[in-house]
């Protein structure tokens, strides 16, 4: 599940058609990762993002000297929801100033599974205009709202971004599609347990794991976690020797070999 912009939780299309669409999309417009890692990689990301993630979440990362990725839908900024208040303009600017990645999550938290190409492009452009107006550099990565992916969304995102994050569980290794990258949620009553399991898997495989959550507070929503849980996971990852990087930095390292040559 991904963040939900309204007080009434909306969930992405859980129908069979939705599942089939996401699965079929996996075969199309692929951008295979190329990774040769000396140490496993971890990205910690916050979707939407609630003010609690911008404060308690960022404080934890700062204590450990690492940066995270905040997937921002500018249309949500300052609004209230079941995830708590979303971060305001000044709070998002402060995250950028502190070195965190501000990444694209569409302007209105658009379900890209059902929207057409023009609607997806237009919604992204609106988000980019808002972020630019705030003095934030053009985002280099994207996360699909509700984790809902479609062939047309992947085609729109392919040339725009280094990587686009979905919500199916998995690790990023050589060959993994960066246009539909897997991730694991720190959310719900088993969030910590699930994240630890995937940290161990990434450690063994020397792969890249992307974790995400939403609100970070004492009594989190079903899509968030407590500060204590987040901190234990950061400490665990550092103890295991993970390099903790933003999603954009991980995606930069994972670009296919041809892209490296082009850049050189």
Could you list the residues that contact Zn ion (CB under 5 A)?
2-3, 47-48, 145
Q: Which is nearer to Zn ion, 2 or 127 (CB)?
A: 2
Q: Rounded to the nearest whole angstrom, what is the least distance from the CB of residue 75 to Zn ion in the complex?
A: 12
List the alpha helices (DSSP H) in 206-246: 227-239
Compute the distance between CA of residue 118 and CA of residue 100 in angstroms, rounded to an integer.
30
**Please, what is the minimum distance in Å from the beta carbon of residue 9 to Zn ion?**
12
Of the two residues 2 and 52, which places its CB atom closer to Zn ion in the complex?
Answer: 2
- CA 226 – CA 201 distance, rounded (Å): 23
Which residues neighbour 142 within 8 Å (Cβ) at sequence distance 6 or greater? 71, 103, 104, 105, 124, 157, 160, 161, 163, 164, 165
- Rounded to the nearest whole angstrom, what is the least distance from the CB of residue 58 to Zn ion in the complex? 18
Cβ closest to Zn ion, residue 73 vs residue 179: 73
- Cβ closer to Zn ion: 167 or 233? 167
Provide the token pair at 195: 């994240």
Smallest gap from Cβ 199 to Zn ion, in A, equals 22
Quick one: 48 or 187, whose CB is closer to Zn ion? 48
Q: Find the residue with minimal CB distance to Zn ion.
A: 3
Distance CA 245, CA 68 (A): 7
Cα separation, 155 vs 28, in Å, equals: 8
CB of 122 to Zn ion, least distance (A): 18
Instruction: Quote the CA–CA distance of 143 and 161 in Å, as a whole number.
Output: 10
CB of 232 to Zn ion, least distance (A): 24
- Give Cα separations from 87 to 8, 18, 55, 214, 257 (angstroms): 19, 30, 9, 11, 37
Q: Between residues 47 and 91, which has the closer beta carbon with respect to Zn ion?
A: 47
Closest-CA residue to 153 (of 161, 6, 16, 32):
161
């Amino acid at each position: 599940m991904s963040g939900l912009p309204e007080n009434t939780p909306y969930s992405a299309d859980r129908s069979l058609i939705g599942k089939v669409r996401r699965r079929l999309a996996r075969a199309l417009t692929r951008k295979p990762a190329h990774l040769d890692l000396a140490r496993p990689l971890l990205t910690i990301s916050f979707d939407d993002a609630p003010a609690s993630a911008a404060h308690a979440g960022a404080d934890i990362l700062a204590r450990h000297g690492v940066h995270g990725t905040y997937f921002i839908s500018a249309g949500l900024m300052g609004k209230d929801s079941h995830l708590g208040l979303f971060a305001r303009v000044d709070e998002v600017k402060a995250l950028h100033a502190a070195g965190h990645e501000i990444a694209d999550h569409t302007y209105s938290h658009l379900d890209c599974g059902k929207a057409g190409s023009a609607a997806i492009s237009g919604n992204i452009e609106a988000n980019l205009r808002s972020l630019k107006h705030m003095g934030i550099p053009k985002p280099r990565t994207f996360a699909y709202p509700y984790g809902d992916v479609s062939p047309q969304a992947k085609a729109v995102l392919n040339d725009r971004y280094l990587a686009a994050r979905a919500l199916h569980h998995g690790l990023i290794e050589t060959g993994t599609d960066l246009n539909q990258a897997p991730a694991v949620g720190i959310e719900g009553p088993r969030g910590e347990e699930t994240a630890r399991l995937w940290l161990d898997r990434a450690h063994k495989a020397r792969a890249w794991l992307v974790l995400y959550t939403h609100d970070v507070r004492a009594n989190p929503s079903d899509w968030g976690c407590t500060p204590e849980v987040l901190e234990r996971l950061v400490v665990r990852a550092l103890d295991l020797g993970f390099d903790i990087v933003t999603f954009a930095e991980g995606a930069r390292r994972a670009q296919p070999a041809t892209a490296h040559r082009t850049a050189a």
